Amino acid sequence: MTHRFFEGKDHASIYQKYRFAPPDEVKDILLRYLDEKKGQPHVLAVDLGCGTGQTTRLLAPHFKEVVGIDISECQLEEARAVPGFSNIEYRKGRAEELPFSDGSVDLVTASAAAHWFDHSRFLAEANRVLKPRGCIALLSYTNQNNSLSYQNCGEQLNSLYEEVKQLLMPYTSNIPEAQCNSKLEELYSAIPFPDKERIETEVKSFITLKNLVGFIETLSMFQTYKEKDPQAANDLLLNTEKRFLDEMGVTSPDTEIEWTMEYFCVLASKPK
Ligand SMILES: C[S@@+](CC[C@H](N)C(=O)[O-])C[C@H]1O[C@@H](n2cnc3c(N)ncnc32)[C@H](O)[C@@H]1O
């Protein structure tokens, strides 16, 4: 199954601007796991479905070399344009056909991406390229159990956000979306390594209203809606920002909102 989302140039530049890296709590979970299972040295990490490179860059200080792989050349162009990461290489490719020799990779990651892959072909490739005790770390947040809060109007903001999600729901690609919301249940069961676990964690952070509206714009369901009706999609973003400002009683889209998100990590280590 191949999904051709995230391919357009506009989508890629919005992605670079508004998609955020996984929080440090999540990065620490996967690095601790790798240390515990495989230990040092951390030579090569491969970040699949790297998009514009948010997670790839997060890994860079912890490995000798990091390779980001994505099927979308536009996403990769944005990733390559970020300066200052001399140990990262970005390559066009797919998670199901990895350009690495057998037993050569310490860590394979995919952040908010594994739900798009062909699971059995991806797992066969991960198994092939990983070193003994090398690890898989698939991370993401779900589209559920998230909540927004600003002073005493959290409930109103959550119901506004829910309204936007409901409006966009008909434009989701149902299978990957459901897989992500089930925290990759099927993929987790299919991992052929006995040593595996799934960790969930709630992370609180702050996001400006402007960036929250930008995040909505990055969603593949929003992009599908925009293709069908560009004017309505544009109006949705403007109205959402306006309605949030009214509820919060402020005028600046730079006002910060607290956002609690549920993240999960599917972790597995290849046998010796
Ligand atoms: C939701 S984005 C996540 C990007 C980035 N990892 C992040 O955390 O923001 C999913 C990415 O997976 C890529 N993708 C989808 N299917 C893929 C596949 N089979 N192999 C490699 N990349 C794929 C898409 O092009 C897209 O850039």
What digits encode the pLDDT tens for the residues 70-109? 999 999 999 999 999 999 999 999 999 999 999 999 999 9
For the chain, what is the mean pLDDT? 93
CA of 166 to the centre of ligand 1 (A): 23
Nearest partner of 197 among 207, 188, 208, 206, judged by Cα: 188
| 244 pocket-lining for ligand 1 (C-beta < 6 Å) | no
CB 138 within 8 A of CB 165: no
- Residues 49-78 have pLDDT tens digits of 999 999 999 999 999 999 999 999 999 999
Residue 1 above 80 pLDDT?
no
Q: Is 98 in the pocket of ligand 1 (CB under 6 A)?
A: no
Cα distances (Å, whole numbers) of residue 226 to 58, 122, 125 = 31, 31, 35
Which whole number is the average pLDDT over 13-18? 87
For ligand 1, say whether the CB of 3 is within 6 Å of any of its atoms. Answer: yes
| Predicted pLDDT of residue 5 | 59
Q: How far is the CA of 121 from the centre of ligand 1 (A)?
A: 16
Summarised one tens digit per residue, pLDDT across range 133-175 is 999 999 999 877 889 999 999 999 999 999 999 999 899 876 6
Query: Is residue 94 lining ligand 1, measured as CB closer than 6 Å?
Result: yes
What percentage of the chain exceeds 70 in pLDDT? 96
Whether residue 191 has its Cβ less than 6 Å from ligand 1: no
Atom of ligand 1 nearest to the CA of 93: 21
Structure tokens at 114: 């594994």
Q: What does the pLDDT look like over 255-264, one tens digit per residue?
A: 999 999 999 9
Among 116, 142, 179, the mutation site with the greatest number of ligand 1 atoms within 8 A of its Cβ is 116
Site to substitute for ligand 1 among 17, 52, 71, 74, most atoms within 8 A of C-beta:
71
| HEC per residue, 121-142 | HHHHHHHHHEEEEEEEEEEEEC
pLDDT digits (tens, 9 = 90+) for 189-209: 999 999 999 999 999 999 999
Residues 6+ apart with CB under 8 A from 261: 141, 146, 202, 203, 205
Ligand 1 midpoint to CA 105 (Å): 19
Confirm or reject: Cβ of 116 under 6 Å from ligand 1: yes
Averaged pLDDT for residues 239-248: 98
Indicate the domain borders of the chain: 9-269
Q: How many CA atoms lie within 13 A of 195 on its CB side?
A: 17
Tell the CATH superfamily of the 9-269 domain: Vaccinia Virus protein VP39 (3.40.50.150)
* Dihedral angle sign, alpha carbons of residues 221, 97, 83, 204: positive
